[in-house]
């Protein structure tokens, strides 16, 4: 196998193109891996194909791009394998190549593979791509990808913030301080004002009710009725810690 997969350093294993006619001669196929990537591209004289392997490091990806440029490759197909495709895709796209990210299920559905003629996955991908049988998955432009990263990060933080709100409510429930009954949203203006006052040491239900926002539908008396509880030190400590985590996550969201 080692002789079959040597790249430019070993002379390359050349195979003639047979079977379906090639309608896109200037294309390549990549079989992605965690440590090495196998690349199949046409030879310089367009009479055969050759396979080379490259490491997964950025310098090796740049060497791969140069190798493909020397063979005048215009379009490259690769499988959407885990996260291994991200770095090669971004490097090759930045180098001016058209890069097709192909769903693995699409490759599995194509019949007629003969492993005697296409023993490696990269050769099979290149063959299908040259015959026009592959369709790339949608991938937005660079600016949209960058925005999507931030939106996903924010969504994760919002989820974490919600977890800490639930922990604060649990601490309050164990002390029978029914903030979630006094106001509609525990993390709303009035709810957070009451939570911060409790964390700061306020225990008088009437004083806590005075923090009511003027838009609240319930009166101070109704709110005060829900805020009388027994104040256990362990639950108060848990509430304070949860509030600190909530504030820290909120700061990350603001950033």
pLDDT in tens, 9-57: 444 555 544 567 788 989 999 999 999 999 999 998 878 899 999 999 9
d(CA 170, CA 55): 51
The domain that holds 97 is classified in CATH as: 3.30.420.40
**Whether residues 51 and 69 fall in one domain:** yes
pTM: 0.65
**Whether residues 132 and 16 fall in one domain:** yes
- Angle, helices 189-200 vs 233-254, to 10°: value is 130
Is residue 219 domain-resident? yes
Is residue 1 domain-resident? no
Is residue 28 domain-resident? yes
**Whether residues 116 and 27 fall in one domain:** yes
**Whether residues 182 and 210 fall in one domain:** yes
Tens-binned pLDDT, residue by residue, of the chain (255 aa): 334 444 444 445 555 445 677 889 899 999 999 999 999 999 988 788 999 999 999 999 999 999 999 999 999 999 988 889 999 999 999 999 999 999 888 777 777 777 766 678 999 999 999 999 898 888 887 889 899 999 999 999 999 999 999 999 999 999 999 998 888 889 999 999 999 999 999 999 999 999 988 888 888 888 999 998 899 999 999 999 999 999 999 999 999
Contacts from 7-12 at CB under 8 Å and sequence distance 24+?
7/39, 7/50, 7/51, 7/52, 7/53, 7/54, 7/67, 8/52, 8/67, 12/43, 12/50, 12/51, 12/52
Please give the tally of structural domains in the chain.
2
Domain boundary among 139, 161, 183: 139
Name the residue range of residue 151's domain. 143-254
């Amino acid at each position: 196998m080692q002789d079959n997969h040597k790249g430019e350093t070993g002379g390359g294993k050349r195979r003639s193109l047979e079977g379906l006619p090639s309608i896109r001669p200037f294309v390549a196929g990549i079989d992605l891996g965690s440590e090495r990537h196998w690349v199949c591209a046409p030879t310089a004289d367009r009479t055969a194909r050759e396979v080379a392997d490259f490491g997964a490091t950025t310098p090796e990806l740049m060497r791969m791009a140069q190798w493909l440029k020397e063979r005048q490759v215009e379009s490259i197909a690769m499988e959407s394998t885990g996260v291994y495709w991200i770095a090669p895709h971004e490097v090759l796209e930045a180098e001016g190549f058209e890069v097709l990210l192909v769903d693995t299920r699409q490759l599995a559905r194509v019949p007629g593979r003969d492993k005697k003629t296409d023993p490696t996955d990269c050769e099979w991908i290149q063959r299908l791509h040259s015959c026009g049988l592959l369709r790339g998955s949608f991938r937005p432009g660079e600016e949209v990808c960058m925005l999507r990263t931030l939106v996903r990060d924010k969504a994760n933080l919002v989820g974490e913030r919600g977890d800490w709100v639930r922990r604060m409510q649990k601490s309050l429930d164990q002390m029978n301080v029914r903030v979630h009954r006094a106001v509609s949203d525990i993390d709303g203006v009035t709810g957070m004002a009451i939570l911060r006052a409790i964390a700061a040491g306020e225990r008088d239900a009437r004083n806590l009710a005075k923090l009511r926002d003027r838009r609240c539908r319930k009166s101070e008396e109704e709110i005060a009725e829900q805020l009388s509880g027994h104040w256990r030190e362990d639950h108060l400590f848990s509430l304070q810690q949860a509030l600190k985590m909530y504030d820290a996550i909120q700061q990350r969201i603001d950033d």
